[in-house]
Amino acid sequence: MTQLSIGFSILLLGVLLLIGKFIRVKVSLLQDLFLPSSVIAGFVGLILGPEVLGNLFDFSNIFYWFQSGIFPEHSLETWAYLPGLMINVVFASLFLGKKLPTLNKVWTLAGPQVVLGYIFSFGQYIVGLLLVIFILTPVFGVDPLAGALIEIGFVGGHGTAAGLADTFAEMGFEDGEALATGMATVGVLGGAIIGISLINWGVSNKKLNTNSKPQSRDDIEKKGLTELDQRSPAGHLSTKAESIEPLSLHFGYIALSILLGYGILEGLVWFEDVTWGQATGVYLIEYVPLFPLAMVGGIITQFALDRLDGYKTLDEDFISRIQGLALDILIVSSLATLQLTVIRDNIIPFTVLAIGGIIWTIFVFRILAPKVLTSYWFERAIGDFGQSMGVAATGLLLMKVADPENETPALESFGYKQILFEPIVGGGLFTAASAPLIFQFGAINVLIFLTIITTFLLLFGLFYFKNK
């Protein structure tokens, strides 16, 4: 690849995003499904690429560079690298610009949701491992690492799926990235469709505690646009451009967070090698990707800025814009390079895992959530359901529909929950280590461990919060 080919490939990606936004504005069905423009753009890239159009028609005799659908081969190669880079930006930004509350405050407000969130996530691993151990591996010869795909795809999302590509490859499960990305797509679609259905069920059965009706969106909002007189600034200028461009400063904070995470990861890899690694031959950390440690680096950076930056130069809105750009690039590039042949060749195991994950997630929402969340259970649990199907953005979307005026503590407790949730699962340390754990210790041992942990969490949630 040359500098020109890399630049051209990134420009093509930007055009795909514009096409995705145009389609979403014009197609009401996609608006009703709450599909982000980046997901639509990714599907457009997938359809016009080698997996769909390239298999139907041979354009190489018309234009010699059209050997992979209508995209040059070097563009697909460039796009394949982008998800693994952008995921580090997304996770490094998670806690930058956010005030870090005390753990006591987090637990007081969001303790039940923290427990419920772990039950959602660990239960998805348990369902996946049970299906792998008793059906998919014996009958279809599926790699046991597939037992981790439900949580990686549903709660982790497209970013986590793409970020674990190298981890899967190093452990001999090259199909893992494509299957996890497909699972993430099922999660986003299922989270929106099933979530809205559950809200309608909740309204019909008087499960909501709000006085206002679930939000109905006008035409402008459905299109994902903002009225001219209601637009807010993308960020606040904390520095003068003659000193440093504010956007450049915030990029620097993100870069520092990623480098801190890289240093931590390298230190842990070295420590593992000189301690239990050499003694037992068991290596886990060397398979862990960078992005969860980049998140830790972001927490360290924010902690330091809270104490050293008296001028408060870090602005959360600017960080969110950079994070959003990275996430859009990640989603488009990962979907556009999705290997449909891998999903086609594993369609039965893939479908079984997806259905198993959906059934478990609905079961936790309907049966367990009312018992663990003792107040405003529906408004709070619908957010957790959305996150457990299609990442945090889906959870926020469903809460906005169910509680448009924020009459309940659902939104606040959901935000606090992430402090104790995101660092571990949903793309955190355990999500990143789940496949290496299965690889090193076996699916049965990991299943036993997670069953014990989930049972404890369930009993704790049922009895500890009962009188609170």
pLDDT, tens only, 1-31? 678 888 999 999 999 999 999 999 999 888 8
Inter-residue contact 385 to 398 (CB < 8 Å): yes
Cα gap 168→432, rounded to integer Å? 10
pLDDT of 206 reads: 83
Average pLDDT, the chain: 89
pLDDT tens digit sequence for 239-287: 998 899 999 999 999 999 999 999 999 999 999 999 988 888 878 888 8
Share of the chain above pLDDT 90, in %: 56
Mean pLDDT for the stretch of residues 355-379: 94
pLDDT tens digit sequence for 27-39: 988 888 778 899 8
pLDDT(402) > 60 = yes
User: Residue 70: pLDDT band by 50, 70, 90 thresholds?
Assistant: confident
pLDDT of 431 reads: 93
Amino acid at 199: I
Inter-residue contact 379 to 207 (CB < 8 Å): no
pLDDT(66) > 70 = no
User: Residue 374: pLDDT band by 50, 70, 90 thresholds?
Assistant: confident
User: Residue 401: pLDDT band by 50, 70, 90 thresholds?
Assistant: confident
pLDDT tens digit sequence for 220-229: 777 777 787 7
User: Residue 375: pLDDT band by 50, 70, 90 thresholds?
Assistant: confident
Inter-residue contact 23 to 44 (CB < 8 Å): yes
Inter-residue contact 112 to 124 (CB < 8 Å): no
pLDDT of 216 reads: 62
pLDDT tens digit sequence for 130-166: 999 999 999 999 999 999 999 999 999 888 998 899 9
User: Residue 468: pLDDT band by 50, 70, 90 thresholds?
Assistant: low
Report the candidate in 317, 310, 274 with the shortest Cα–Cα distance to residue 93: 317
pLDDT(215) > 70 = no
Cα gap 333→42, rounded to integer Å? 7
pLDDT of 192 reads: 85
pLDDT tens digit sequence for 436-458: 999 999 999 999 999 999 999 99
Share of the chain above pLDDT 70, in %: 95
pLDDT tens digit sequence for 123-137: 999 999 999 999 999
pLDDT of 217 reads: 67
Task: Let me know the angle formed at the C-alpha of 241 by 239 and 245, rounded to the nearest 5 degrees.
Answer: 80
User: Residue 119: pLDDT band by 50, 70, 90 thresholds?
Assistant: very high
pLDDT(64) > 60 = no
pLDDT(107) > 90 = no
